[in-house]
Amino acid sequence: MTAAVPQSPPSAAECGAISALAGRSQRQMRQWTAAHPGLFSAKPFDDALYSTVSMAMAFSGPWYTAEQLSMANKACLWTFALDWLVDYVCASPAEVNALLPRCLAVGDGAEPGAGDDLARMLAEIRQELARAEGFPALGPVWREELQRMLEAMTREWEWKNSQVTPSLEEYLANADNHAFVFVLTCHWIHTGGPDAGTAVGQVRRAARAVQRVMRLLNDLSSYNRDRRWGDVNALLLGVPLDDVTQTVAALTAEARKLLGELRVHQAPLADYMERQMDFCAGFYQIGEFWGRL
């Protein structure tokens, strides 16, 4: 079967430049994982995960340098480690609940505990963000998004390990477990400069709308894996596939509207979010980020 050529494909030169940007980012990721071997030794942390994460960031923001994308990549990698610990390493509510105060203390500026690779990597992220011009305005936002993400992951663990099945509305309200807004906030602070605090409410509303879309796109792609691994997935809540795809379409339209309004004040950030949403729409048709167990 012959593949159809898009009407306006990106040039080979453009694809080459973006791929080079992703390659630089992937090498940075390898340095971070080598510095935190206890977080990234599990089998699903394979070369393809680092490659596809770096490509997601590079194709979403090809106007950024590798240094400008470094915080998004590092924060994303950290959330993968956090997600792995919560979903597959922690064996009891006590273990899951212990993660939250450790991470929040570091979020408040405390030193990580000895031997705590998760907290140590988060402390590195916070220290780097604290040097950014946008941190005085957006530091409290970052701390709130950290807590929202941690609480959402804890809530999903409780759903997964109980007989409670959330509704689709409850599930989407917990989409902070996807971690997109937290990672976006790290990138926002890192690249936003002195005007990073412009239109804070609009940025957060748009980011949360994009996050809901990406949560469901991920679920459509990872249904078979989630069923094998025992994860929570919109399609495992008893919601028909047609309803989920219609919800994706409606949420995508909502996100594009909010991004259009945001573009007046924060054009690069709005473009970055929209391109990442569209990248995931294409990526998840074929693959997913996690490797095999």
136-175 pLDDT per residue, tens: 999 999 999 999 999 999 999 999 888 789 999 999 999 9
Q: What fold characterizes domain 49-283?
A: Farnesyl Diphosphate Synthase (1.10.600)
Structure tokens at 52: 């596809």
Is pLDDT above 90 for 179? yes
What pTM does this model have? Answer: 0.93
Is pLDDT above 50 for 1? no
Is pLDDT above 60 for 293? no
Tell me how far apart the alpha carbons of residues 131 and 118 are, in angstroms, rounded to a whole number: 21
Is pLDDT above 60 for 7? no
pLDDT at 178: 95
% of the chain beyond a pLDDT of 70:
94
Question: Domain map of the chain by residue range?
Answer: 49-283
pLDDT at 229: 78
Q: To the nearest whole number, what is the mean pLDDT of the chain?
A: 91
pLDDT at 163: 76
pLDDT at 9: 67
Least confident of 61-70, 119-128, 221-230, 245-254: 221-230
Which range has the top average pLDDT, 38-47, 152-161, 183-192, 227-236? 183-192
pLDDT at 2: 41
Is pLDDT above 80 for 283? no
φ, ψ dihedrals at 143, nearest 5°? -65, -40
